[in-house]
Amino acid sequence: MEFIDYYKKLGLDSSASAEDIKKAYRKLARKLHPDLNPNDASAKQKFQEINEANEVLSDPEKRKKYDQHGKDWKYADEIEKQKAAQQSQNQRRQSSGGGGGQQYSYASGDEGADFSEFFSSMFGGGGGAQSFSSQSRQNKFRGQDYNAEMTVKLADVFLTHKQDVVINNRTLKITVSAGIENGQKLVLQGQGGVGVNGGPNGDLFITFIVENDPRFKRLGSDLHTTVEIDIYTAILGGEVTLETLNGKVKLKIKPETQNGTEAKLKGMGMPVYKKDGQFGDLYVKYLVKIPVNLSPKEKELFEELAKLDGGKK
């Protein structure tokens, strides 16, 4: 098994903090995502590699095993169990006078033990500890869990749809449920790494990144937006057309609408996740646009209005 330097894949060193790892992964993921590089096989391969690196280094327990055991980190628990069992057997043999069997010893970490050699011998690759090889080949190991991010637009999650995600040269079609929120996770059981010796497959954890929409601010299932209206519509009333995530709607503006007035469109927000037929609300704030570059006649008319208004006081 070739050693892969996960830190190097993310452009970091082993002293990187959890936040450093998160930032480096997201930066590279956005750059190398297959959707942005549809015909670039190299970018696709690099994207898979940084996914694998992030899956290990973002998990404190996995990162600890990787730092200690390198390429054999997935089998760290089994290695330690085998070492403990053999050391216990050696101690029993020594206390009983040694016996005629072969003795095994393991170097401590500061003596530069090569766990790859130990692991190789466990699985029949030659070396000492041959008595363990047949037993170890029967041990079942759970496959590696994978982590991935899926970026979707706010408009995309208004309706349930399917979207492809590429994981280790496999293209999976994922169902994205309507109303899913930024940071929400989806677990696909058995879609991670393949198990060893017939062990179960790992799982795939997908984190959704819902991109902001410049037209709307999302708060839970509610949406907030602003609509500009001219001063004449604000004073006299009228209609404006608003583009929503579910099509265009006409808004009736009441006469004498004040700047900053907010209207509530019930049930026209985002769908509530996993609750069919339930929607949040859409809040519309009206911003009255003051006219500029007035003609002399327009200024004259506004002056007359000002005089009339002053006469009411």
Question: How far apart are alpha carbons 298 and 309 in whole angstroms?
Answer: 16
Task: Write down the pLDDT at residue 42.
Answer: 84
The H or E element that residue 248 is part of is strand 247-253
The encoded tokens of residue 182 equal 């930024």
Among candidate residues 5, 91, 9, 109, the one with its CA nearest the CA of residue 49: 9
**Does the predicted TM-score (pTM) go above 0.95?**
no
Residue 2 has a pLDDT of 57
pLDDT of residue 122: 41
**Partners of 217 in the β-ladder:** 224
Closest CA to 199 of 145, 140, 146: 140
Per-residue pLDDT of the chain (313 residues; tens, 9 = 90+): 456 789 998 999 988 999 999 999 988 988 888 777 877 878 888 888 888 889 889 989 889 888 887 777 777 777 777 767 667 766 766 665 544 444 333 333 333 334 344 444 444 444 444 444 445 556 788 888 888 888 999 999 999 999 888 887 788 899 999 999 999 999 999 998 888 888 899 899 999 999 999 999 999 999 999 999 999 999 999 999 999 999 999 999 999 999 999 999 999 999 999 998 999 999 999 999 998 898 999 899 888 888 887 756 5
Beta strand segments in 119-246, E: 146-153, 161-167, 170-176, 185-188, 204-211, 217-219, 222-230, 238-244
The burial class, CB within 10 Å (0-12 / 13-18 / 19+), for 32 is buried
pLDDT of the residue at 184: 92
Tokens of 90: 């050696």
3-state SS, residue 178? coil
- For the record, the structure tokens of 225 come out as 């937006």
Residue indicated by tokens 């009339």: 308
Count how many residues are written for the chain: 313
SS3 for 230?
Answer: strand
Pairwise CA distance, residues 72 & 196, whole Å: 13
| CB-count burial class (<10 Å; 0-12, 13-18, 19+) for 179 | buried
Contact in structure between 224 and 215 (CB atoms under 8 Å): no
Q: How far apart are CA 183 and CA 213, in angstroms?
A: 16
**Across the strands, what pairs with 208?**
150
**Residue 142: what residue type?**
R
The span from the CA of 182 to the CA of 224, in Å, is: 17
